[in-house]
Structure formats: structure tokens, C-alpha cells
Amino acid sequence: MLQLKKVIVIRQGLAKKKASHPYCAAPRGARDTHYAVRSYYQLIVRKSSYMLASNLLHGSRVRLTALTNDDLPVIASWHDDAAFARLFDARPAAPKTASALENWLYEYSRANNGFVFAIRPLGDEKLIGFIELEGILWAHQHAWISIAIGDVAQRGRGYGGEALRLALRFAFQELNLHRVQLTVFSYNEPAIVLYEKLGFVREGAYREYLQRDGKRYDMYLYGLLRDEWLSHPSSDEIIESPRAQ
């Protein structure tokens, strides 16, 4: 109903200001307002069909699902790889046990300010990574996001990018957040490239935050606002799975 009212308002004022809306410009010399109103309405429908995705957490190659205790041994095995731990965490790169990770997962089940998702390929229960939306401040509509692709064989194949787009769509379209932010170590260049490609803006740096192998590194702060996401090409990419179409 709100969208239809919006069209009616434009119909009444179109003769005076034909191109007042950034998504609608009446053709020069148009004899009436019908074409402009119809075009604007079609754009509203197209945007709404994206926002009301029939399969919110499914993409063309990966899906976000519940993370369970059965997944924890796999995550624990990833922490045996110091390279993985050094990309994901500022704490010492030490092995973790599945039982130790149970507390982490249990806290998510009790919390009302965070979500954790497993990243799985379509049609496969294999765990390739996980993604977290945490520290949500509902009053201010913002959250922290982090992602880990633990399966080395699955890195560099675009799965992380699609998983992030799905999580951002969930954050902005389902949770109605205004801002999503993250931190990344300055030596994690592939992640930095991905975040900037998705529209994240570097807002600052924690200078010389880390010391590893005798060298100090910065940690960058990145943020993404809802309006920036909606106007970014990534938000319009078709990431629906064939099953959902």
C-alpha cells in the first residue's frame, strides 16, 4: 500500500517535476504521465522482488545454514593450521578442541544480539566456513561481521564473497540494521580486496596493533552503511539458487 501511495503522489506532481526521483525520468516530450508512472512502478516491483527474496540465505553456489555441534570437530581441525588462526584472530595461534568450541556455540544459542551461520555448498552438507554477526546493538542498528573459510581447497573460488553478500542481505534486509562493521589485519590483502569490492569503506586504523614474527602490523576498521549497500552493485547481483527461482 505504501508503494502504491508513492506512485499516486508522483502522478499528481509529475507535470511540474518530471525527474524529481533519481530512479525515474519522464521521456522528453511525453504526452502524459502514464509512461513515467508505469516505469517507476516497475522499478519498485523489481527492487521489492529482490528485497523479498524467496530464499534469503541461499546463493547460486553456497548457502548459510545453522552451525551445529557436529560441525565443531571440523572447525577445531582448522585451528591446527596456524596460518588460518593468524588470519582470523589476534589471539595466539593455538589449537582448539571441539569441546572448547561448544561454549562458543552455546553462547550464540542463548544470546539475543548475534547470529552464526555455517557456510555450505549447495546440495552438500560439507562445512567450508562460517560467518558471524555479533555484538548487535539493536537500539543503534549496527553489528560486527566476520567470516572464515577454513577449507583451504575452497578459498579463492568466490564462496566467501557470496557468503558475505548473503549475510549482508540478511543484516540489512531482514534485521534492518543501519551499519555493519569489521576489522581486518593489514597483511590479509585478499580479504581487504574483497571487503572493498563489496563496498566497505576503510574508516581508520589501529596502528601497529599486532606483532608477529618480529614485525608490527596495523588492524583496519571498515564500515558499510545500509544506503551504501543498497546503492552498491553487489546488492543487486542475482544470488538466488536455482531451487529458489
d(CA 8, CA 173) in angstroms, rounded, equals 25
Torsions phi, psi for 78 (to 5 deg): -65, -35
Q: Other C-beta atoms within 10 Å of 186: how many?
A: 17
Classify domain 65-244 by CATH number: 3.40.630.30
Q: What is the pLDDT along the chain (245 residues), one digit of tens a residue?
A: 444 433 333 333 333 333 333 333 333 344 444 444 344 334 434 444 444 556 889 999 999 999 999 999 999 999 999 999 999 899 999 999 999 999 999 999 998 999 999 999 998 899 999 999 999 999 999 999 999 999 888 888 899 999 999 999 999 999 999 999 999 999 999 999 999 999 999 999 999 999 999 999 999 999 999 999 999 887 766 455 444 33
pTM comes to: 0.75
Residue 125 CB partners (closer than 8 Å, separation 6+) = none
d(CA 175, CA 237) in angstroms, rounded, equals 20
Residue ranges per structural domain of the chain: 2-51, 65-244
Is residue 197 helix, strand or coil?
helix
